[in-house]
Amino acid sequence: MINRLKMKRGIFIIAILFSVQMFSQAIYEDERYVPETDPLVLKKLDEWQGEKFGLLMHWGTYSEWGIVESWSICPEDYGWCERKKGSNPANYNAYVKDYEDLRKTFNPVKFDPAKWAKAAKYAGMKYMVFTTKHHDGFNMFDTKYSDYKVTSKDVPFSTNPKANIAKEVFNAFRNENFSVGAYFSKPDWHNENYWDPYFPPFDRNVNYDPALYPEKWKKYVDFTHNQILELLSDYGKIDILWLDGGWVRKRDQQNIKENYEEKFTENESKNGFIKHRVVDQDPKMDELVVEARQKQPGLIVVDRAVHGKNQNYLTPEGRVPDKTLPYPWESCITSGGGWSYTPDAKYLTGRQGIHMLIDIVAKGGNLLLNVAPGPDGEWQQGAYDLLNAYGDWMKVNSSAIYNTKPIAPYKENNICMTQNKEGNVFLFYMAKEGENKIPAEVTVKSISPKKGTKITMLGSNTSLKWAKEAEGFKVVIPESLRNNLPAKEAWTLKIEAINR
């Protein structure tokens, strides 16, 4: 009996260790990175990492209904893509027709990308990514390869001088010296060679077997390549190709087997029903990237969620990693509502937004903040208010954000840290809830300034008194400065040099 108990206990411990190992491996697999070797791309990637703060915009005909972008026409049973609009949302085919007919009323007459670019520039943003096409297949540019586009005759906005929306957006932001990124969806649910009308769509994937219909799949791959190369040929300098729809990818048998095992191991279904399949659908990305960089040398390519050499940086979505990461990365986060336009969206406060930017930059990442234009072509006031709060703060503190690197331990309590190439270290004291002044004394245990070094607060020329402690140091903030602080939400102490 004792031996049997010991055996059971041993099996239990082994099971726990195996589970921990599998969990650790899952984290590692999610964060795999293949370094780039092209020197031009490496140079641009280094510049991009120094920019730190970018703007993402999801915009399409779906903004007219104020619903989640594209996903409501996907026949997957998730609450966040539930069909609620249209004349008959209970009927899938009727719903899709109503959804695609939104193009016939799309007329964003307040569209003014120069206004957006100025607001983003004031906020301190340095690059932008715009949705040229989302999964629904509606093109926000004047593509030669589809009639389902903003410049088609059945779209009211097509007669507007700014009808080629992506081109207007790119030009407006380039005029403000932004790096420009083109978001492009690899799946296209409108294209007959992705969702073939002969078959009903099953889920987000191609609705036929590419191995059984290789000619049809080749037509789709050619279509996708043609559209991307069109954007890279006819729309000026593009710095980032930001590809979404990571399920459109080449898979081997081992990967397919592992993915299906995960679906059932994670209890997605106890009765065999799965919400979406795993399909090998190779978009020939290696070949495309070679052609893309012939047109745009040094192009950063982000084939999102696809492990390999064509994912030049990783994009944790809707979250901030809890640690520094050993490769280039960017958190893409919504500023208010969802990714697409949400009526009466509640936006981040200045404090929330600024603290998030500081936290991400201190961990070595970039923040790509999403703002969703409405059906009239305008941003909501909450977006402008948030970007103004960023701008007021960045006017004082941006030198501690741009072109900086993490420094261990990156954060101590509510104080984040960065360092620049000159060896200066910046400490961001992030205001606690209800706190409108930095404390009279700030103690940091993990950093030790060099003897005699100068410490100041960004936005002030006052040299601050400080003293070495048993662990770290203590800096004194005079009352005159505390009563006349140069910024809100967070205050930055600059240390000229520290002990290494």
Tens of pLDDT, residues 133-145 = 999 999 999 999 9
**pLDDT for position 30:** 53
User: To the nearest whole number, what is the mean pLDDT of the chain?
Assistant: 93
Mean pLDDT to the nearest integer, 10-19? 35
| Residue 407 Cα to chain centre, angstroms | 23
**pLDDT for position 262:** 86
* Residue 7 clears pLDDT 50, i.e. is over it: no
Residue-wise pLDDT for 180-225, tens only, equals 999 999 999 999 999 999 999 999 999 999 999 999 999 999 999 9
Distance, in Å, from the CA atom of 183 to the CA atom of 228, rounded to the nearest integer, reads 10
Residue-wise pLDDT for 71-97, tens only, equals 999 999 998 889 999 999 999 999 999
Residue-wise pLDDT for 33-48, tens only, equals 999 999 999 999 999 9
* Residue 13 clears pLDDT 90, i.e. is over it: no
Mean pLDDT to the nearest integer, 439-451? 97
Q: Is the dihedral of CA 87, 89, 94, 97 positive or negative?
A: positive
Residue-wise pLDDT for 232-251, tens only, equals 999 999 999 999 999 999 99
**Are the CB atoms for 447 and 410 separated by under 8 Å?**
no
Mean pLDDT to the nearest integer, 131-159? 98
Distance, in Å, from the CA atom of 108 to the CA atom of 260, rounded to the nearest integer, reads 43
Q: Tell me which of 268 and 263 has the higher pLDDT.
A: 263
Longest dimension (CA), the chain: 85
Q: How confident is the model at residue 269 (pLDDT cuts 50, 70, 90)?
A: confident
Global confidence as pTM: 0.93
**pLDDT for position 270:** 76
What 8-state DSSP symbol labels residue 135?
T
Tell me the DSSP string of 80-104.
GG----SS-TTSHHHHHHHHHGGGG
* Residue 1 clears pLDDT 60, i.e. is over it: no
What is the helix, strand, coil percentage profile of the chain, to 5?
Answer: 35, 15, 50
* Residue 5 clears pLDDT 60, i.e. is over it: no
Q: Residue 442 carries which side chain, given as an amino acid letter?
A: V
Mean pLDDT to the nearest integer, 346-352? 97
Q: Tell me which of 275 and 21 has the higher pLDDT.
A: 275
